[in-house]
């Protein structure tokens, strides 16, 4: 889809060309109109323009001045000049300014269409597939670290990834780990930042810590890192079979990693003046179980020795203290929050069922996992109800006071069913609200079109009426009604014209003006295209009935 702006101080020319290029023969064009250079510049300041078809001689701001201003806004925009004067000096100035063509108005429609097609070809040649691919590769390279981090965080946070998907994404993101082999996990924490250190310097020091680890590891382990908070880094590590002396030794990587982290800890203290703590897994874990083990390692930082400074602990500490430390339900709750916010109903309830099943059917709701999961879910639902302004509406269907205390429920299945029902209502009303807003936008557009058939019905004006972007308005209307805005406008105009021809004694040009056509010939062409009859033929036919 290309945006075309037609500019001329003669309305009959603008309307004629708008009808020509706004018709079914040019479905790839979004046509805008302006009747002088300043109006054209105002439109170009609000909307990206791809092609400008402009008169070269206009009062106040001529075509060449307009070309210079538009080039500042949209350097890629192509300009085609129209003129009634065969003025060689103007032609030279226009072509020096970057015009792609120059057409005399007296030459008719065919050369103008050819010039427009030439402008489109020029745009397409500039954006050849090879150049786009090169740009895409460059952008993808720059985005790779972020995309890699997002994908690995999804795994750590419990997002289910099938083996095939994992293999595919590892290859695409060039993650330097084997998607089929178990992985060791280590987490580093900066225990205390210098008091006078600005926040902008902290990411650089985390990067320095990662570099220190990389230097100490050498090629012994394959690793990738993720910065998860301002003061924490997660490393995922695997034995490098090409450099390991005993790749079959399951303890080899752990022993090496633990010794390396001791050296990294000392180096951070000496060279970076940063006290750091580390926790690491005692063994390698399969990718499917990694979220639970990651949660267990995080727990080491939150209790006992992990609350101190410059610690180096393994998850064996959890077992030695008689604590499993695994809270699978809570890990999945964080996914539920995201699915609810994005209204992904199916995925939400799939994970919700898993969370409920993981809690089981405890004898008491006053302690343990059931208590924690209930309040996590309740807080999530309250946040959604507030965000969507659904408290009053949903409270008419369920007693939302039961979100505030687990004591309102006798058993875990009863509490879980209440939470599920509340979530169902949020999805139900959230979807209805989207449907209602869409309906209201379409209704407003139709009312405005009906009331302004003789006025400005450009996509820009219609988008201003509903306070949405032109592209989104066009797509939303087509998706909801099954037809384009231009088709809707044409249908409403032809309906109005038929009524006026049948019920009034207005002259043909007066009927045309009532539906936005100041030029009688262009109105006649439009009417015949829509009905296969001229306006006069249609009126004569009605008299015979």
423, exposed or middle or buried, with CB in 10 Å at 0-12, 13-18, 19+?
A: buried
What is the rounded distance in angstroms from the CA atom of residue 372 to the CA atom of residue 497? Answer: 68
Q: Which pTM value belongs to this model?
A: 0.53
Choose between 430 and 114: higher pLDDT. Answer: 114
% pLDDT > 90, the chain: 34
Give the pLDDT confidence of 328-386 residue by residue, as tens digits. 445 667 778 878 887 888 889 988 988 888 888 887 787 778 888 899 899 999 998 99
Q: Which residues pair with 53 in a beta bridge?
A: 6, 80
pLDDT of the residue at 162:
84
- Compute CA 120 distance to the chain's CA centroid, rounded to the nearest angstrom: 28
Establish how many alpha carbons lie within 13 A of residue 540's alpha carbon, considering only the half-sphere containing its beta carbon: 5
User: What is the residue-averaged pLDDT of the chain?
Assistant: 84
Q: How confident is the model at residue 264 (pLDDT cuts 50, 70, 90)?
A: very high
Choose between 141 and 487: higher pLDDT. Answer: 487
% pLDDT > 70, the chain: 89
- Statement: residue 498 has pLDDT above 90: yes
pLDDT of the residue at 64:
86
324, exposed or middle or buried, with CB in 10 Å at 0-12, 13-18, 19+?
A: exposed
**Strands 101-104 vs 312-314: parallel, antiparallel or unpaired:** unpaired
pLDDT of the residue at 98:
65
Q: Which residues pair with 313 in a beta bridge?
A: 279
End-to-end CA distance of the chain: 44
State mean pLDDT over 86-105: 68
Q: How confident is the model at residue 323 (pLDDT cuts 50, 70, 90)?
A: very low
Please tell me the total number of residues recorded for the chain in this structure: 545
For 411, residues 6+ apart whose C-beta sits below 8 A from its C-beta are 361, 365
- Statement: residue 474 has pLDDT above 90: no
Give the pLDDT confidence of 164-175 residue by residue, as tens digits. 999 999 998 999
Q: How confident is the model at residue 322 (pLDDT cuts 50, 70, 90)?
A: very low
């Amino acid at each position: 889809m290309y945006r075309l702006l037609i500019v001329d101080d003669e309305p009959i020319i603008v309307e004629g060309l708008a009808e020509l290029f706004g018709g079914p023969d040019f479905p790839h064009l979004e046509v805008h109109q302006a009747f002088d250079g300043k109006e054209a510049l105002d439109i170009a300041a609000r909307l990206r323009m791809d092609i400008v078809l402009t008169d070269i001689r206009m009062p106040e701001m001529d075509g060449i001045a307009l070309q210079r201003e538009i080039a500042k806004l949209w350097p890629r925009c192509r300009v085609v000049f129209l003129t009634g004067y065969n003025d060689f000096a103007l032609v030279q100035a226009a072509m020096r300014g970057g015009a792609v063509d120059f057409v005399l108005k007296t030459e008719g429609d065919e050369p103008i269409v050819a010039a427009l097609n030439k402008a489109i070809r020029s745009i397409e040649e500039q954006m050849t597939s090879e150049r786009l691919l090169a740009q895409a590769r460059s952008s993808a390279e720059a985005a790779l670290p972020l995309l890699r981090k997002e994908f690995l965080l999804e795994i750590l946070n419990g997002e289910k990834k099938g083996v095939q998907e994992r293999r595919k994404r590892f290859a695409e993101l060039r993650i330097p780990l084997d998607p089929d082999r178990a992985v060791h996990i280590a987490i580093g924490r900066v225990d205390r930042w210098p008091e006078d250190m600005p926040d902008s310097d902290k990411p650089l020091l985390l990067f320095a810590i990662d570099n220190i680890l990389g230097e100490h590891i050498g090629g012994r382990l394959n690793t990738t890192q993720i910065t998860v908070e301002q003061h924490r880094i997660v490393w995922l590590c695997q034995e490098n079979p090409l450099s390991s002396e005993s790749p079959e030794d399951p303890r080899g990587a752990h022993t090496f990693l633990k010794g390396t982290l001791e050296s990294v800890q000392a180096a951070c203290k000496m060279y970076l003046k940063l006290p750091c703590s580390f926790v690491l897994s005692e063994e390698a874990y399969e990718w499917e179980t990694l979220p639970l083990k990651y949660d267990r390692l995080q727990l080491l930082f939150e209790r006992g020795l992990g609350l101190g400074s410059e610690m180096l602990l393994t998850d064996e500490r959890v077992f030695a203290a008689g604590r499993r430390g695994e809270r699978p339900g809570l890990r999945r709750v964080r996914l539920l929050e995201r699915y609810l916010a994005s209204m992904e109903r199916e995925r939400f309830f799939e994970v919700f069922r898993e969370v409920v099943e993981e809690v089981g059917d405890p004898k008491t709701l006053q302690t343990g996992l059931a208590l924690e999961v209930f309040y996590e879910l309740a807080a999530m639902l309250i946040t959604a109800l507030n965000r969507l302004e659904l408290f009053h509406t949903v409270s008419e269907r369920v007693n939302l006071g039961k979100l505030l205390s687990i004591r309102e429920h006798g058993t875990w299945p009863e509490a879980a069913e209440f939470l599920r029902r509340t979530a169902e209502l949020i999805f139900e009303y959230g979807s209805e609200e989207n449907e209602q807003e869409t309906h209201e936008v379409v209704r407003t557009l139709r009312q405005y079109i009906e009331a302004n058939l003789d006025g400005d019905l450009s996509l820009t004006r219609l988008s201003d009426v509903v306070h949405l972007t032109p592209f989104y308005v066009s797509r939303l209307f087509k998706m909801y009604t099954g037809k384009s805005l231009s088709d809707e406008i044409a249908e409403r105009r032809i309906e109005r014209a038929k009524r006026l021809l049948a019920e009034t004694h207005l002259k043909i040009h007066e009927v045309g003006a009532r539906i936005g056509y100041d030029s009688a010939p262009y109105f006649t062409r439009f009417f015949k295209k829509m009905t296969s009859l001229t306006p006069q033929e249609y009126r004569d036919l009605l008299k015979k009935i």
